[in-house]
Amino acid sequence: MSARVTSARIPDQLPEPTLRRLPWYLAFVQMLKGRKVEYISTTRIAEELDVDPSQIAKDLSFLGIRGKTRIGYQVEALEAKLRDYLGFDRRHCAIMAGAGSLGAALIADSGLQRYGLNIVAGVDINPDIVGTEISGVHIYAQSEVPELVKKLGVKIGIIAVPVEAAQEVADYLSAAGVQAIWNFTPSRIRVPEGVVISNTSIYSHLAVMYNRLSSLDE
Amino acid sequence: MSARVTSARIPDQLPEPTLRRLPWYLAFVQMLKGRKVEYISTTRIAEELDVDPSQIAKDLSFLGIRGKTRIGYQVEALEAKLRDYLGFDRRHCAIMAGAGSLGAALIADSGLQRYGLNIVAGVDINPDIVGTEISGVHIYAQSEVPELVKKLGVKIGIIAVPVEAAQEVADYLSAAGVQAIWNFTPSRIRVPEGVVISNTSIYSHLAVMYNRLSSLDE
């Protein structure tokens, strides 16, 4: 009953812009579902999300979803398909490297759990933190990472360490066998071939926002 | 002594890809500065960050920074210029809309402070949270937002509410006079013209990562 059942018809990798829009569609149809709306047209989605209607139809057709002429998409079916495809319903085991301010905050964020991310362990080099628990997640020493990854079936390593340690941490996570690295530091990191890298540079987004703001002032 | 002093030579708005790379350069030169390195060449930065050397030279020339032939950039000067330009040294007052799991986590993240973001107040609709403090930040009722924005000089509104409330919250923040909105929900939101919008959709990044991961399995 996993999403893989349908994968024969779905391309392995969607274009990243499409992938980034799918959660918008999901958020919107979830709201409609909550309001008991039964059908939604591409035109309405387009108005609401400010995306070109033909782009929406194309994005959804990647998932094998096609609307009915004049009626549109059935909200409940669309919601289920998007949720399933996006993987938010499946559990993905992750380890948090760096249990300082940001790492602890992410461990505590129940939103990540709702979106399928299960942080099963934390790692830190600070001996005062190692051995403690944050929101029920145990914090281990760095030397225990290879065993943790194997024992707990960890696929994702999250990096929330100080920027100067980011590459070293990425190296030991990759060596321990994680398949994906989610980098929250503003540092560019390199990973071995075959390891997925995803950057969420919160602080870089700040720089973009500050720049736009200061050009307003001029 | 603000960055504006040099703004006559710097374009108002840099291309967004350049802006996103500047924090990488900053993180790298900060590490070099810590190691007492005096000069760094474009070639070395390029190797370290996997960015084309000519792109680096172009990005830095936007800020009026030029390296010396055969020597490269003076690390300390480059660091100071990047930090100043990116605005991480200036204070930007922000209000956090939604003091639930993610909102509270972001309020608690001292990293944001280090990058110039000063969250001066929180807002929530939950009467159990209103009136409390999170990491020293007072949580107010929604009705108090217009006064808070004026009184505290808030320029940035951060949205960390449930996705179905995102647009409504964006509307009242804009009406209250914030100049920029930092949206952490997976929802696409619209803002009035002249308001800066920045999306950090943590959960959308998860979808991209899950997709890449599952295509590895096949």
Model pLDDT for residues A87-139, shown as the tens digit of each residue: 888 999 999 999 988 899 889 888 888 889 999 999 999 999 999 999 999 99
In the beta sheet, which residues pair with residue A201?
none
Q: What is the pLDDT of residue B12?
A: 63
Is residue A124 within 8 Å of A130, Cβ to Cβ? yes
Could you read off the pLDDT of B82-136 as tens digits, one per residue? 998 998 889 999 999 999 888 998 898 888 888 899 999 999 999 999 999 999 9
pLDDT of residue B2: 35
Q: Does A179 touch chain B (CB under 8 A)?
A: yes
Mean pLDDT on B183-195: 90
Cβ–Cβ gap A212/B190 under 8 Å: no
Mean of pLDDT over chain B: 89
Instruction: Give B-chain residues touching A177 at CB under 8 angstroms.
Output: none
Residue B216 has pLDDT above 80, yes or no: no
Provide ipTM, 2 decimals.
0.84
What's the pLDDT score for residue A7? 39
pTM of the model: 0.82
Place of tokens 């979808």: B207
Tens-place pLDDT, residues B15-46: 888 988 998 899 899 889 989 999 999 999 99
Measured between alpha carbons, how far apart are the two ends of chain A, in Å?
A: 57
Cβ–Cβ under 8 Å, residues B146 and B173:
no
Of A90, A116, A213, the CB nearest to B155: A213
Per-residue model confidence (pLDDT) at position A186: 82
Separation between Cα atoms, residue B171 and residue B192, nearest integer Å: 8
Looking at the partner chain, which of A185, A194, A208 has a beta carbon nearest the beta carbon of B16?
Answer: A208
Nearby residues of A159 by Cβ (< 8 Å), 6 or more positions away: A97, A98, A166, A169, A170, A173, A181, A182, A183, A184, A185, A189
Would you state the pLDDT for residue A208?
87
Which regions of chain A are under pLDDT 50?
A: 1-8
Number of H helices and number of E strands within chain A? 9, 9
The Cα–Cα gap between B140 and B99 comes to 10
Kindly report the CA angle at B40 between B32 and A161, in degrees rounded to 5? Answer: 30
CA count, 13 A, side-chain hemisphere, A106? 30
- CA angle, A207 as apex, A111 and B25 as ends, to 5°? 110
B179 CB within 8 Å of a chain A CB: yes
